[in-house]
Every structure is written in structure tokens, then in C-alpha cells.
């Protein structure tokens, strides 16, 4: 039996609408109100609360000649890690860096608003809150569509689980600090949410052109969100295909549709990686330094021998544990042998000493804490000021209680092992696929992060790993609560 055939089991509720029970309507109403309140309070907060510019933002705003509103003496592409800026303006830059990304869809729409404002009223300073509102509106639209779809099919448990994601996950400041910014992290989160939600929603549905296109589009958007995620939708598609074949001995159409969009996104990203400019070469040099000095060498048994294998001179060992932006000069100048650190040399080092990869990955798991991206200011006008006291993030609880982090990250892998046991997984195919997807996303995201950027910025670059784990727990607890309530109601009725 394949995923294509499962819809023939049980009543077909795909075209009917049944009124949800009162408890579910109330619960979803509370989720809506709390989620909107948490998000709006942060997006509208004065002074601005957002993640400061670590230079990543200008990779996208440079496509539109849009930069923070600062003194003319400040280089437009300079980072501003101390605090975020609430206003941006159009500035001429003779050597802009433009990264292709699905993030540009949001930015392009906002730039159109800015240009209209400037043309009609002469306004030259433009509020960043426009993009914050647009990004949250897009997420809210997807959330509402999934909620209504689950209700339309009479599946109260998934409807509740999806509903709870809004106030607890998406409205958490660890995510919403990316709203009033030109970072691509929110776009990546939205694309991943759309992809996983579609996989689960059409789990027991027959193939349809519209569903195929939606899955392919979500996979393409995820692959194009950030270069770090270019392989993630491929991993998702392979997981659906592999587990589907194991369960039903056929290749699910959902996996094929995902692979189509994933391969299209990968092809575009490969072209992007082959582009050549001074800015792209500089980014590549910074990444090499981060991988070498925060990732590979600190986890080698003999850092000096590992450095020699990478082609680095002994003098470069003084940067051990140092992030690229903390070096006393441009990385290629401070460490002249850095141009020798190619992906091929890194792979050979990992093959020669596998323990480096294992230790690096484990330290990457530890470095995911805190979930709320550290190291950059969060309050406009501040000096590396942290989240204001009026806001609460689950990141704070995870940081203070290590046992919670163990449960958060260890729960999905343990559950997958149990679900792969035939007597436990039988009848739980959709939950098995979701759990397998969660584990695959966590492993792939963290692996690409530590191998592509070392441990220089793990919470920010690997934020999807924590989001995936937390979403899994929210869904698991929501479904369990719904089942317990249904059983109690059944006992009371009998």
C-alpha cells in the first residue's frame, strides 16, 4: 500500500465541512489572540526590537541599493552589530553584493512600497516595520490556511497542533526578532513550515497537479532561502521517499514532487556559488576562516598537524577559536595560507581523522544554546542590549534548565527509533513520517551549519534545528492532550 492509496481507508471527509467542537473553537481562538498579541507587541515595539546587522542583511538589500539610514561617512555595507536600525534609505553602491534568495520576494514588495512613498511624498527614510508586518502576514496566512484545511477534513488533533504553533513557536522572540530585519531566517522558517505542513496535509490524498506544484514550490523556496539550506529540501524529499517505500513498497508522489522543486533550487544555487566578485570571494574567505578556526582545528587531536594538512602555516594557529570577524586583519591577509583551505582538503582531513567530525557535530549541538541568537544587539539605539524584560522566550527556559534541552533535542530521535518498531509504528504512518522528517531536518541543518560556518554563529545558522524539534514537541503534546480529552469524554458519555 502506498501513500496514494491510504485515502481509500475510512470515510472521505475531503469535500465536507463539519462544525468543530466548542473546546477546539475556543482553543484556536485563544491561539489566534495570543499569537497575534505576542507578535504585534514585538513588531510594533518602540524602540525597535530586532536582530542587529551582522553584515548578512546587505547581501540581500544590496540587490535594491537599500541600506541602514546612517551618517554619509559610514560605508553602506558596514555591519552594525551593536543595535538594529529602524530606518533604511536608498544609497548608491558601485560594488553591491546581491544574493539570490526567496527572501527577495518580500524585500521586492517592500521596496516597491518605499519607492512609491518616495515618489509621491519625497520621503527618503523608510521604516523597516513594513517588512516585519509583511513577513508575519505571510506566515499568518499560511497558518490560517493549514488550520482551515485540517478543520475542513474533520481532523481535530492536527488542527489543534497547528493552532498551538502560532503563539508558542512562531510568535516566540527567538523567531520574531527576524521580522523587522532583512535577514532570510524568517523566510527559511516559513518555507520549511509550508513544506512540512503540505507533506502531512496531503499524506492520505491522491496526487493532484495543484498539490504537486505547491510541494515543489515550497521545496524550491526553501532551497533558495539561504545557501546553507540548498540541500535541506533534498533531504526532506529523500526522507519521504525512503520511509514511504519502507512502509508501502512504493515511491510516494509527495517525495517526487519535493525532489523536483529541490533540484530546481539546487541548480540555481550551484550557479550562484560559481559567481565571481570581490564581495563573494571575501565571504568565501571568511567562511574558510570560521570553519578552520572555530570548527576543525579546535576539535583535532593535534591542531598543528591538522593545520598543516589544511595547508595553513604554524603562525595561523594563533587564531584558534577566533571568529573571522574578530581577526586583526582581513582573514586572507592575517593568515596567508587560508586560500589553501578548500572543501577538498577539509573532507580529506575529516576522512583522515573522523573524530574531528564527531566532536565538531557534538559541540554544534551544545552551541545551539541559546536558541535566541546571541552576540548581536536587539534594541534600537542600544549597545549589544539583550531582549527587553517585558518579552519572554522559550530560549530563556532552555538556557536555564539543561534537562529541557536534552528532552527537546533528544525526543524526536528516540521517538523515531520506537516508531520504526513494527508493533509501535503500525497505524501511525503519518506520525512516523513527520518524526523522521523532524530528525532529518535537525541532523541536516546542524551538519551543514558546522561544516559550512564552523561554530562561529551556530544558534542563528542552525535555528531551523531547534524550530523543528520544538514544533515536534508542540504537536506531540497537543495531539496527546486531544486524545486524553477524547477518552475522558468517551468515559463520561458511557
Tell me: do 322 and 392 sit in the same domain: no
**Is residue 373 domain-resident?**
no
Residue 10 reports pLDDT greater than 50: no
Please indicate, yes or no, whether residues 67 and 146 belong to a single structural domain of this protein: no
Q: In this structure, is residue 88 part of a structural domain?
A: yes
Candidate from 122-126, 212-216, 418-422 with smallest mean pLDDT: 418-422
Instruction: Decide which of 367, 395, 418 is a domain's last residue.
Output: 367
Residue that is last in its domain, among 130, 155, 189: 130
Identify whether residues 284 and 270 lie together within a single domain: no
**pLDDT by residue (tens digit) across 413-433?**
999 999 988 878 777 889 999
Band the pLDDT of 17: cuts 50, 70, 90: low
User: Is residue 49 in a domain?
Assistant: no
Residues 157 and 268 grouped into a single domain: yes
Q: Is 82 exposed, middle or buried (0-12, 13-18, 19+ CB in 10 A)?
A: middle
Q: Same structural domain for residues 189 and 319?
A: no
Residues 345 and 212 in one domain: no
Distance (Å, rounded) from C-alpha 475 to C-alpha 456? 31
Q: Are 252 and 270 found together in one domain? A: yes
Q: Is residue 217 part of a domain?
A: yes
439 and 328, same structural domain? no
Handedness of CA 186, 188, 191, 193 (dihedral sign): negative
Q: 68 forms bridges with which residues in the sheet?
A: 88
Fill in the DSSP letter of residue 49.
B
Cis peptide before 237 (omega within 30 of 0): no
Together in a domain, 288 and 418: no
Q: What is the mean pLDDT of residues 337-349?
A: 92
Q: Are residues 259 and 348 in the same domain?
A: no
For residue 14, is it within any domain? yes
Q: Mean pLDDT of all residues in the chain?
A: 91
Tens of pLDDT along 82-120?
Answer: 999 999 999 988 777 899 999 999 999 999 999 999 999
d(CA 117, CA 111): 10
Q: Which domain holds residue 445?
A: 3-44+132-275+379-493
User: Over the stretch 255-275, which tens digit does the pLDDT of each residue have?
Assistant: 999 999 999 999 999 999 888
Between vectors from CA 155 to CA 153 and to CA 156, what angle results, nearest 5°? 130
Residue 399: all three cell numbers together: 538556557
Last residue of a domain, one of 302, 332, 367: 367
Same domain, 144 and 98: no
In a domain, residue 52? The reply is no
**pLDDT tens digits along 185-201:** 999 999 999 999 999 99
CA atoms within 13 A on the CB side of 440: 22
Q: 213 lies in a domain?
A: yes
pLDDT band at 205 (very low <50, low <70, confident <90, very high): confident
Distance, in Å, from the CA atom of 153 to the CA atom of 159, rounded to the nearest integer, reads 10
* Residue range 448-461: mean pLDDT, rounded: 93
Q: Does 410 share its domain with 316?
A: no
The answer to whether position 374 is within a domain reads no
Looking at the structure of the chain, the number of domains it has is 3
Which SS3 state, helix, strand or coil, does residue 314 take? helix
Amino acid at each position: 500500500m502506498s501513500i496514494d492509496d491510504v485515502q481509500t481507508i475510512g470515510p472521505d471527509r475531503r469535500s465536507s465541512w463539519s462544525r468543530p467542537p466548542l473546546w477546539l473553537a475556543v482553543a484556536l481562538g485563544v491561539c489566534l489572540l495570543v499569537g497575534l498579541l505576542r507578535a504585534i507587541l514585538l513588531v510594533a515595539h518602540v524602540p525597535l526590537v530586532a536582530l542587529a546587522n551582522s553584515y548578512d542583511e546587505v547581501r540581500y538589500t544590496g540587490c535594491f541599493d537599500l541600506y541602514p539610514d546612517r551618517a554619509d561617512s559610514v560605508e553602506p555595507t558596514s555591519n552594525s552589530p551593536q543595535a538594529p536600525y529602524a530606518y533604511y534609505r536608498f544609497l548608491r553602491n558601485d560594488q553591491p553584493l546581491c544574493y539570490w534568495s526567496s527572501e527577495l520576494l518580500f524585500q521586492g514588495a517592500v521596496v516597491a512600497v518605499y519607492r512609491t512613498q518616495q515618489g509621491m511624498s519625497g520621503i527618503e527614510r523608510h521604516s523597516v516595520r513594513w517588512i516585519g508586518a509583511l513577513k508575519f502576514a505571510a506566515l499568518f496566512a499560511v497558518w490560517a490556511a493549514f488550520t482551515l484545511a485540517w478543520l475542513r477534513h474533520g481532523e481535530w488533533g492536527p488542527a489543534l497542533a497547528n493552532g498551538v504553533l502560532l503563539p508558542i513557536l512562531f510568535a516566540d522572540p527567538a523567531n520574531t526578532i527576524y521580522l523587522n530585519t532583512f535577514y532570510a531566517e524568517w523566510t527559511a522558517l516559513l518555507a520549511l513550515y509550508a513544506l512540512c505542513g503540505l507533506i502531512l496535509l496531503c499524506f492520505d490524498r491522491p496526487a493532484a497537479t495543484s498539490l504537486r506544484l505547491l510541494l515543489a514550490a515550497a521545496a524550491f523556496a526553501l532551497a533558495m532561502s539561504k545557501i546553507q539550506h540548498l540541500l535541506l529540501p533534498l533531504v526532506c524529499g529523500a526522507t519521504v521517499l525512503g520511509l514511504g517505500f519502507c512502509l508501502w513498497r512504493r515511491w510516494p508522489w509527495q517525495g517526487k514532487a519535493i525532489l523536483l522543486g529541490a533540484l530546481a533550487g539546487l541548480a540555481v544555487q550551484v550557479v550562484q556559488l560559481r559567481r565571481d566578485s570581490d564581495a563573494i570571494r571575501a565571504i568565501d574567505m571568511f567562511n574558510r576562516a570560521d570553519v578552520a578556526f572555530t570548527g576543525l582545528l579546535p576539535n583535532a587531536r593535534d591542531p598543528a598537524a591538522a593545520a598543516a594538512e589544511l595547508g595553513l602555516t604554524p603562525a595561523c594557529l594563533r587564531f584558534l577559536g577566533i571568529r573571522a570577524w574578530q581577526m586583526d586583519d582581513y582573514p586572507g591577509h592575517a593568515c596567508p595560507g587560508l586560500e589553501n583551505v578548500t572543501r577538498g582538503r577539509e573532507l580529506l582531513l575529516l576522512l583522515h581523522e573522523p573524530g574531528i567530525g564527531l566532536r565538531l557535530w557534538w559541540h554544534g549541538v551544545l552551541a545551539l544554546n541559546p536558541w535566541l541568537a546571541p552576540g548581536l544587539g536587539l534594541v534600537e539605539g542600544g549597545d549589544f542590549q539583550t531582549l527587553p524584560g517585558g518579552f519572554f522566550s522559550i530560549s530563556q527556559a532552555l538556557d536555564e534548565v539543561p534537562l529541557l534541552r536534552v528532552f527537546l533535542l533528544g525526543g524526536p530521535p528516540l521517538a523515531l527509533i520506537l516508531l520504526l518498531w513494527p508493533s509501535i509504528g503500525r497505524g501511525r504512518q503519518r506520525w512516523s513520517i513527520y518524526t523522521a522528517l523532524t530528525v532529518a531536518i535537525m541532523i541536516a541543518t546542524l551538519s551543514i551549519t558546522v561544516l559550512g560556518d564552523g561554530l562561529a554563529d551556530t544558534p542563528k545558522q542552525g535555528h531551523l534545528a531547534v524550530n523543528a524539534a520544538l514544533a515536534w514537541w508542540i504537536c506531540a503534546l497537543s495531539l496527546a492532550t486531544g486524545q486524553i480529552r477524547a477518552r475522558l469524554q468517551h468515559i463520561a458519555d458511557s
